[in-house]
Structure 1
Amino acid sequence: MSETELEMVRRHVKDGAMHVAEQRALIARLRQRGLPTEEAESLLVTFEDVQLQHEDHLARAEASEREEPAWEGGASS
């Protein structure tokens, strides 16, 4: 079974949130060790930007799904 577009977008949002959280944790560890964080912070900004795009896509996909009438089987008259 293949995933629907909506399932794919939901997965992207979930995965993206995990990447953002992991990057924030990495920055915290770097700071604790007194190591440079500039590159990690720059990458975090990119992850956050992409996450916003995923969330916008999800909102559009969910709105589109709500607007589509449910298909009713059978022949049309």
Structure 2
Amino acid sequence: MFLGDQGEWLFGFFRSLGRCSGIMAELWVILHGLHHAWRLRFRQVVVESDCFEAVRLANEVDLGQAGNMLITAVRDLVKHD
């Protein structure tokens, strides 16, 4: 769910991910949300999540996780100018 700066609902989406962990599901949500926000020309986006591990993986430079394509894709969108 995406909310505006005044808390108003902007858009939402759903997707079947099949079988995956909660952290991977949260990373998919972050990835698709950022991608969709970018397409809609939102350039200042705040991502909030109740999954601390997913947020940590998206933001930290953790060389042990650098090979994971999903984490790399989220990090690339976070760094997108």
When normalised by structure 1's length, the TM-score is 0.36
Structure with the greater alpha carbon radius of gyration = 1
Q: Which has the higher helix share?
A: 1
When normalised by structure 2's length, the TM-score is 0.35
Q: Which has the higher strand share?
A: 2
Which structure exhibits the higher relative contact order, with contacts defined as CA atoms closer than 8 Å and separated by 6 or more residues? 1
